[in-house]
Amino acid sequence: MRIYLLCLLISVFPVAANASIVQQEMRPGIPANAEYLIGERSKPAVLLLHGFLQTREFPTVTTLARGLQDAGYTVLSPTLSLNIPNRTHSLACEAVHKHGMDDDVAEIGHWVDWLKSQGYRSIVLVGHSFGSLQLLVYLSTHPDPAIKAYIGASLVEAQVGATSRPILIAQLEDRIRNNRRALVTQSLSFCRKYTSTPEDLLSYVRWDQPSVLTALKQSPVRVQLIMGDADSLLGQGWLKVLQHIQIPMVVVHGGSHFMDGEHEFDLLDHTLKFLEGIPQGTSR
């Protein structure tokens, strides 16, 4: 299988002939783009989402997208706008962030609808890192018959550093309740200083480990997690917690958070194995 995957990744097949950039307006004045890699109609389409503040050009995502297309799958890889028109670059932690989980989930819904408008009735959500969390939130709040399965690679909760999450939530709720709209700076995900509005920050902070576990256990579709046991960016004990609740999961020995190096083959291999069992659905 490893040799087969290597051949896929170095294939000389002209990918550009089967790739295009799709643009949709997410909100008034906020267009966003996705790369559309066309595969076989007989296979499910994959919606592939990047991690926190990144773009679809992030290496983990681009390598996986090309491998999936070479295996015959249609892949749609959007870049979340983060309320920036036609965003093409990663957003710095130090920027002023005026985007929240609700915006992210709404954009995922736009791209799911776009795939359905192209005739796809069997769609698999595949995310990396925080993108896995965003797709899980979408799945838990917007069930759709076209969504057949979910793969979360390096799934994380919304980490808040050493801050007491209950206290932080109470403070943010108090600011919102009293119409105090000043920006707040707080540790979030890999950002030590993340500046955002109280409402938008709260929309992420609410997704702690218990919330993520509940969403996984209540998933309306098949779930597969792909995690690395050398992932230094996970919350303390997170891997053991996931194993304890017996969510279907593959643990890649030596795999980092980014599944780089030789582990990019493991990520692709496990993703392909899972996709083989997904129903095709119908497409026009």
Q: Could you give all domains of the chain from N- to C-terminal order, each with its CATH number?
A: 2-91+100-157+207-275 (3.40.50.1820), 159-206 (no CATH)
32 neighbors 26 (Cβ within 8 angstroms)? yes
Q: What is the pLDDT of residues 68-110, one digit of tens each?
A: 999 999 999 999 999 999 999 999 999 999 999 999 999 999 9
Q: What is the DSSP string of 32-49?
A: EEEEEE---TTS-EEEEE
Q: What is the pLDDT of residue 282?
A: 52
Structure tokens at 39: 């595969």
Residues 6+ apart with CB under 8 A from 189: 52, 53, 130, 156, 158, 159, 204
What's the rounded Cα separation, in Å, for the pair 260 and 242? 22
Q: What is the pLDDT of residue 281?
A: 56
Tokens 């838990």 locate to 140
Q: What is the pLDDT of residues 212-247, one digit of tens each?
A: 999 999 999 999 999 999 999 998 899 999 999 989
Q: What is the pLDDT of residue 14?
A: 43
pTM for the full model?
0.92
* Helix axes 198-205 and 101-117, enclosed angle (nearest 10): 70
